[in-house]
Chain A
């Protein structure tokens, strides 16, 4: 089984638009949306939810003021300044470490597990999809990303599907690491800007750090062809396989508004470019 994760470093380079097109072009696959705190793939694939479950993440301390003797031990021990002088825990600041709970001399602190989000198995017009929604301001997005990927794997095995396509989050931190570790390959979608290049260097470095075969494509390449060349030079020097260039076209936004992937929406230059890219990616995944 092959698992491809699409990432970008910089946000808004067109990851999800490319992934939505791959959903149309790829056969025998499961789609997974690992951008769990700002998921968008469902807006195009319009999944019909077949199964949903709570995602239980970390715990949060809760001081019972009836039992509390106001000794202040918890205040002193908390490394996150999450407890106010009148012994109320700030739910957002609480890291869920349980140190206050453990040391409270009168066991006045409860430590319930949080429901941090939901995850779903759905059916789409292009086959099964696993996705999730992290509740706003919740932690443990990395854990939820791992869960989504695992469920996609289970589903692929059950249904005899041989490819998993994962829409990853922006950045290089916890949820990105959770979305690429152990993947067969990553595809970086970037843009021909100084920021795009800078962020590609960091996210490409991350993929290299985890020794994952890496491909890249430049979206809206004609916005600045000089910068596109510079990005491709960088890729060649750093063993990142270039799989194509996508031109700028307002049809991409029109497709999004119509809740369609660009390859369904039009047969224009962007669709042709993405079909070419998928063809190469598929070959590379096979090898």
Chain B
């Protein structure tokens, strides 16, 4: 059950929907060779942008936001250390595109526009990411369906107990090779970085280092926040 819990907790931590790229990176490992980059992937301004993007995704409310929790540098570190080269490139490109978008729409750098304007840009980017992801997934699904129909073998026709033809394999399926997308990665890493940061875990969530006991039926107290784990 530890296994199941681990995957499930991750999905919940991420607000229910992880990007395919992040699932691949975190849960199944990634097959791409690692980048040989030694220095930073990002310019100084891009590092600042990452911090501001994260702070739009998790802003300060009655608890501190992503910026105050130091999520920006965490995202930069994670993209450099834990993502394959194609995702790193997509991430840098995403920052460049976002900057360009800002200049097109507001004639200013992303670092100079207002929070409201940043929200507008990211909402647009989010909507586009949702549409693109769905289109890609649909295309992959229909491709898979077409491939399956080409194979006419009925699993029930497997000749014997001891013959496991490819068609009846119960091996895990190859993970969908989805394109890495800037917004999805930025959001995944903001949520991960924020809720596991000291600020996020202790102020937005509630963290008890050593519970010492288990109560499976405690009264939910008014204002009770989610436990950090």
The answer to whether A and B come from one shared complex is no
On A, residues with C-beta under 8 Å from B are: none
Interface residues of B (CB under 8 A from A): none
